[in-house]
Amino acid sequence: MPNGSTQHPLAPVTEKKHIVGIDAIRLIAAILVMFFHYGFWVGAYPQAANAESVLISFPELYDWTNFGWIGVQIFFVISGFVIAFSGERASSAFHFLVTRVVRLVPAALICATITLIITLALQSSDASELFIAYLRSIFFVPFGVYIDGSYWTLAIEIAFYALVFLLIAIGRFNRIKLLAIAIGLQSTIYWVLYVFATTHPAGELFQLMRALQDSRSMEILLLHHGCFFAIGIFLWAQLLKRPSRINLFWLAIFVGTGCLQIYGVTESFYYQFDIRQPTLTPMTVWLGSLLAIYMAVVYNHKIHEISPPWLLRMFRTMGLMTYPLYLLHQTAGLALMNELVKLGLNAYAALLSIIVLAIASAWLVSVFIEPPLQRLAKEYLLRLGSLGERKFAGQKL
């Protein structure tokens, strides 16, 4: 997912404030999502997985992979933490905007292009529809079909970034906890009503809650996932700023809301796809990720002290790999896996091959392809900003 530093992973790690443990947690979350799509989703519901064939199916792995979707909720918590951290350090709203554009756009352009080429070569989808989906993906259009289903989360991330950008622009970043309370409380109200409504699934309230859950507009307004960003912000406030009981109070409220959201997602699998999903497993994994984030922050200084430079660079690379791995694995990976099976390769051998290929591709993109584009994008945006400042200064004179 689109978080973290844009520093080249082969550069020396000198910034002691960089929390290396979060990079590892982020990569694990991306791998969970990949395992969910490869090990469960493609076999349990191939239409939703954008798979053209049912050649790929791993029913023996269902119990081990059916909860991997929880990686997205882990991403959102990390995003709340990292954006609060980077937003406070941003020298201006424009600087914050540049860092987000540089982090989001080059990788999305690279990964969407790779997916488009592979899909055109291996699947029988209409080329014009694919190209439209490609354009939606690289321009971050919030609605419609994307070149890869994983792009659905980017508009949600951008909506959160936009709120933080506005706080910085009006000089009120110190109110970020109030923002967290606002977006977290709306999620809390919704998910409490949703869970209450499930006790009467034939009632009008449940139908309304289901309609809101299916609404893309409500996703973008952070109704569904605002609690996770809020958790990230309050973790930042508690662990890196000034600890307080108020922070702990809101953390408890929104962690509870997160558990309700996870329950709601498992219910939605049944109502949308007639698939029964476990609730306890994803909830346990998600709560474990919160503990892991806490440990990563608390012991970050110790990790830097005892870790050799090569290990710190490896952690940094892991974090940078996450976003391209998330964007590349689903549509392109499943298409290639399907092709390998058609060519006679054993399904499990094809699965292992594509997992290795997806991780290797993410590494190549993050280490060699993405950084030059990021530098170009940053230089262009900074020049654009400097030009705008000069014009503004000239008008004032």
What's the confidence (pLDDT) of residue 391? 60
Is residue 1 a part of any domain in this protein? no
Is residue 32 a part of any domain in this protein? no
What's the confidence (pLDDT) of residue 16? 52
How confident is the model over 87-110, as pLDDT tens digits?
999 999 999 999 999 999 999 999
What's the confidence (pLDDT) of residue 53? 57
What's the confidence (pLDDT) of residue 395? 53
Question: CA 160, CA 75: separation in Å to the nearest integer?
Answer: 13
Is residue 300 a part of any domain in this protein? yes
What's the confidence (pLDDT) of residue 36? 96
Query: Which ranges of the chain have pLDDT less than 50?
Result: 5-15, 392, 396-397
Q: How many domains does the chain have?
A: 1
Is residue 347 a part of any domain in this protein? yes
**Which ranges constitute the DSSP H helices of the chain?**
20-35, 42-44, 62-65, 70-89, 93-122, 127-138, 154-169, 176-197, 204-214, 216-220, 226-240, 245-273, 280-298, 300-306, 309-328, 331-342, 347-364, 370-396
Rounded to whole angstroms, what are the CA distances from 86 to 4, 73, 121, 209, 304? 9, 20, 40, 35, 20
What's the confidence (pLDDT) of residue 88? 96
Question: CA 349, CA 288: separation in Å to the nearest integer?
Answer: 31
For residue 279, the tally of other CB atoms under 10 A from its CB is 16
pTM of the shown model: 0.94
How confident is the model over 293-336, as pLDDT tens digits?
999 999 999 999 999 999 999 999 999 999 999 999 999 999 99
Domain of 194 in residue numbering reads as 59-386
CB 41 within 8 A of CB 272: no
Is residue 42 a part of any domain in this protein? no
